[in-house]
Chains A and B, each alone.
Chain A
């Protein structure tokens, strides 16, 4: 696999996505063993740099790296020299001088992982950058669909919520359409980007109409921290029109699976009954996330560095 960095699913080929998903199956088996650890990445060092708050993605990457026997360093940004005014690049280059192998980065600005990948020798994994992409979330969503439905090609998938601000939506759209799913986005017009159809998706502004006969529903979190522009009147109105509850879920196929990348705003975009219901796979997504991230770390760390063409 010629990948050196994982910046977004836009650049990853269908074959490489399938390689990662297939490999993740083997790593999921590792996670079910009494000893949930393999020695594959012994001696490699992975640095987690999260410039935005995160629980599941950061811990997921940390557990994934540890289960591959890599050493993990979590850089706490709030107590680092970033607060003294050091530039991002200086911080990363300082850490890289300590001979690390991989940087996992989350940043509020789109394109930061790409910029880093051009400046440093280590592999860069995008753990979410601004409104651009969150590739490992896209991969774990696809893995979860594959696991439950046995395939992705030909499935009808709806992504509901704030499409404009969502990197999860973008990674889902790129990945799922490459693998042959029919993807639609549902949300209020203020939260759907202009010309989103060019990514190969259909747009629906009505939830009931949009989720009709869906195989998979992926609900996005309403990012209250990005909601300063009042793009919808009140959260209550959003919950009424676009929040998924058991009554509205009946419009989808009876075996429709419900996903959410977390953290959930219960009662806003998803009702507790749906979140904890039989169609929800939200906890499995978290389990699968570790397996998928192990697969990504494994593939990017492999082979002699100088043999890799990036």
Chain B
């Protein structure tokens, strides 16, 4: 997995583009939930949690409501444990009860839908939310499960041989599309 060669093809979003997409998602979350009072945002590690914080900040700017932000590690719920030998496990951090709340699950890229499936299973072990909604920065298609997002930053039709690269560092924020040149590489 680590050895595949990636050739950068195009930049899909720059810093401003990411910012605008997250602002729109924040507005849509407020609109759908008629405010943000009962909303909590839970990011899927890694990266979903970074985006979740950014969206919560946008919601605060718009609504002056602080929505609780959590982070979810879904490693124990994945369906590929038998195949992948090394999975990095981090901790779930949900410092609030999710019962009766409108939970927005935030992830970076929606691809096969398996991560979202695992995240929903994980969430339900923590309680009974009023609803679970899915927000993603990029939807790249190729679903293997009947799952779709409520909020999408950008739709990017991709080939299975391509990969989405997301940089979320302070110094560099952008989304790139790259081609996997090593023919051993397979979409994960």
Say yes or no: is B1 at the interface (Cβ < 8 Å to chain A).
no
CA distance A304 to B86 in the complex (A): 11
Name A's B-contacting residues (CB within 8 A).
1, 22-23, 25-26, 29-30, 33-35, 37-40, 68, 298, 302-304, 307-308
Q: B84 contacts the other chain (Cβ, under 8 Å)?
A: yes
Bound Cα distance from A303 to B84, whole angstroms: 6
Task: Check A303 against B82 for contact (C-beta < 8 Å).
Answer: yes
Is there an interface contact between A26 and B125, defined as CB atoms closer than 8 Å?
no
Interchain CA distance A306-B171 in the complex, whole Å: 43
> Could you tell me which B residues sit within 8 Å of A by CB distance?
73, 75-77, 81-87, 89-92, 121-122, 125-127
Counting from the closest, the 3 A-B pairs by CB-CB distance are: A303-B85, A38-B76, A35-B125
Closest chain-A Cβ to B116's Cβ sits at a distance in Å of: 16
Question: Is there an interface contact between B77 and A26, defined as CB atoms closer than 8 Å?
Answer: no
Which residues of chain B come closer than 8 Å to A37, judged between CB atoms? 125
Q: Which residues of B contact A22 (CB under 8 A)?
A: 89
* Complex contact B81–A304 (CB within 8 A): no
- Check A29 against B76 for contact (C-beta < 8 Å): no
* B contacts with A: majority SS: loop
Interface of A is mostly: loop
Considering only CB atoms, which chain B residue lies closest to A38 in the complex? Answer: B76
Contact A29 B81 (CB under 8 A): no
Whole-angstrom CA separation of A39 from B74 in the bound complex: 11
Q: A283 CB to closest chain B CB, in angstroms?
A: 23
Chain B positions within 8 Å of A33 at CB level: 125-126
Question: Of all chain A residues, which has the CB nearest B82?
Answer: A304
A117 smallest CB distance to B (angstroms): 20
In the bound assembly, the distance between CA atoms of A307 and B127 in angstroms comes to 37
Q: Are B86 and A26 in contact (CB under 8 A)?
A: no
14 contacts between A and B (CB under 8 A): A1-B85, A22-B89, A23-B89, A26-B75, A26-B91, A30-B76, A33-B126, A34-B127, A35-B126, A38-B122, A39-B77, A39-B121, A40-B81, A307-B85
**Contact between A26 and B127, CB atoms less than 8 A apart:** no
A1 interface neighbour in B83, B86, B90, Cβ under 8 Å: B86
Q: A34-B126, A39-B76 are in contact. Are A26 and B85 (CB under 8 A)?
A: no
Also in contact, A29 and B121, with CB within 8 A (given A1-B86, A40-B76) = no
Report how far A68 CA is from B89 CA in the complex, Å: 15
Contact B126 A304 (CB under 8 A): no
Instruction: Decide if A304 touches B85 in the complex (CB within 8 Å).
Output: yes
| A29 in complex: contacting residue of B82, B83, B92, B127, CB < 8 Å | B92
Q: Known interface pairs A33-B125, A34-B126, A38-B125. Does A26 touch B82 (Cβ–Cβ under 8 Å)?
A: no
* Cα–Cα distance between A140 and B90 once the two chains are bound (Å): 19
In addition to A26-B90, A29-B92, A37-B125, 7 A-B residue pairs with Cβ atoms within 8 Å of each other are A1-B86, A35-B126, A38-B77, A38-B122, A39-B121, A68-B76, A303-B85
For A38, the chain B residues whose CB sits under 8 A away are: 76-77, 122, 125
The residues of A that contact B91 with a CB separation of less than 8 Å are 25-26, 29
Given contacts A26-B89, A35-B125, whether A304 and B83 have CB atoms under 8 Å apart is yes
CB B87 to nearest CB in A, in angstroms, measures 8
Per the bound structure, the CA–CA distance linking A104 and B165 in Å amounts to: 43
In the complex, which residues of chain A have a beta carbon less than 8 angstroms from the beta carbon of B87? 302
Nearest B residue to A294, CB-CB: B76
- Cα-based distance from A26 to B87 in the complex (angstroms): 13
Question: Are the C-beta atoms of B81 and A26 separated by less than 8 Å?
Answer: no
Interchain CA distance A23-B88 in the complex, whole Å: 9
Contacts of B85 in A (CB 8 A): 1, 302-304, 307-308
